[in-house]
Structure formats: structure tokens, C-alpha cells
Amino acid sequence: MSRRPSFPARLDLSSGAPAVPQTAAVGARGARNQRISDSTLPSGVGLDSGAVRHRMVMKLAAQGITDAKVIGAMGAVERHRFVDSALVNQAYEDTSLPIGLGQTISKPNVVARMIELLLGGRRDASGRLGRVLEIGTGCGYQAAVLSHVCWEVYSIERLRGLHDKARDNLRAFRLANVHLLFGDGMAGYAKGAPYAGIIAAAGGDAVPPAWIDQLATGGRIIAPTLMPDGRQALVVLEKTASELKQTVLEAVHFVPLKSGIA
């Protein structure tokens, strides 16, 4: 008989820092009490969410995600730390979730699929891709996943509220290779160019020319884009020395790519 995991109830206890009783007193006596509590409290939190994440990645693999590096990154990033506490128990389900200001965090399956396409077999000896640009930081979840598979992540968000939220969410992870930018991603981010990959978390009518300019030769853009029939599909653009090759993949449902900041 399988034991019912204590997730998610115990997740609320954790804040990214080692679990310490909220009431821990300061001072010599408090410190002694804290040591005793530390030995009985903390391990469950990480282990429980790890088990649920493990189930999530097993499902991703069953759904066709084959890249071991992507599976590893999806298993490593604690998605529950990026959603509101009321949604924590849905954090590892294959569903998109609201992150505030009318925006959503994509399903794990879509995040994994897009990152797998972004990598597309191109990587160095360590298995990582070089510098990438993410359009639409949102809550910062995908940027955290990207930080495990790329050397450098530039992520740009047009809504100040979400840019700040992502900064708060990512602080505890101390990801030195993630750079959060506030601005209109339609213009890309020229200072970081050229990029080995550009990944958009919002769908536009067409891929903005700035992204193509800022893409390295041999690089790829993965972007939800409006098709002539009015549906949104995942588009892969590959830049070679002589051409820009476009591949249209499956239908998707992303929030709109908008210009300007707010």
C-alpha cells in the first residue's frame, strides 16, 4: 500500500531557506532548541515535493519528452515556489496556472517541449546551450528551468508587477546565470545578442524582426505565432548562413505578445 505523501500541506512551511521553526527563539537557548528541531523537521519538505516532481517528469517522459537534460531540469526546479499558495497543490499537474495580471504559467509539458525544441541537439560538451533570450518572464519558472540547460539566460518582461514577482521568486534559487530585464521584448535585447536561442512565452502575429537580427547563425527561435487560419501554432525558425527555415508545429494557446510596457 502506498503511503499518502504529506505534500502539499507541508510545502507551505518552506520558504526556500532551510526549514527553521517559525517560533525559534534567538539567543543561546534558542539556538539549542533550534538544533533539536532542525533534526526532526526539515527533511520532509524537500523529499515530498521531490517525489511529486518525480511523478511529473515520469509523465513528461511518457508524453514524449526524451531529452535527459530537459527532464533533469524539470525535475530540479520546484514549480510550487512560483505559484500562489492557493495553487500549490496543482503545481505539478499538467495544467497551466494563473500567475497574476491576467497571465499564465504554461503546462509543464509545454515548457519541456519548447525547451527541448530550443536545444534541438545543439549543445556543447557539457550538454548546455549558450546564451538564450526568453520573451515573457512571467513568474520566472521557465527562466529557472532554462538556467539548468543554458549557460546564460536573459529574460525580459513587459509588466512591472510580474518582473518584480519573478525577481522575488528567483531570489532564493541564487541563479547567477539568469538576468531579468524589464522592457518590451518585441525589440529583443540587443545588448545580449547574438543568442543561440530565443524562446517566446507569448504569441504574436509574426516573429518580430529584432529577434531574427539578434539570433546567432545556427540559432533557433521557438515562438507561438498566429497562423493565417487564426489559430496559434508553435513555430521554429532556424537561422543558417544562407536562409531562415520555418517549421510550423502543433497548435498552442499562449497569452498574447503585446507591445510597450505597463
Interacting residue ranges for ligand SAH, rule: CB under 6 A: 99, 103-106, 135-136, 138-139, 141-142, 156-159, 162, 184-186, 201-202, 255, 257-259
In the chain, the amino acid numbered 107 is K
Smallest gap from residue 64 Cβ to ligand SAH (A): 21
186 neighbors 196 (Cβ within 8 angstroms): no
Smallest gap from residue 143 Cβ to ligand SAH (A): 7
- The Cα 77–Cα 58 span in angstroms is 15
CA distances from 213 to 18, 96, 234 (A): 44, 31, 20
- The Cα 201–Cα 180 span in angstroms is 15
In the chain, the amino acid numbered 126 is S
Smallest gap from residue 38 Cβ to ligand SAH (A): 32
Residues classed as catalytic: 106
Our CB check for ligand SAH shows the closer of 124 and 164 to be 164
Smallest gap from residue 102 Cβ to ligand SAH (A): 8
Our CB check for ligand SAH shows the closer of 8 and 138 to be 138
Cell 533534526 identifies what position?
39
Our CB check for ligand SAH shows the closer of 124 and 213 to be 213
- The Cα 62–Cα 237 span in angstroms is 27
Our CB check for ligand SAH shows the closer of 54 and 253 to be 253
Smallest gap from residue 48 Cβ to ligand SAH (A): 23
Our CB check for ligand SAH shows the closer of 18 and 209 to be 209
Our CB check for ligand SAH shows the closer of 118 and 139 to be 139
Smallest gap from residue 137 Cβ to ligand SAH (A): 6
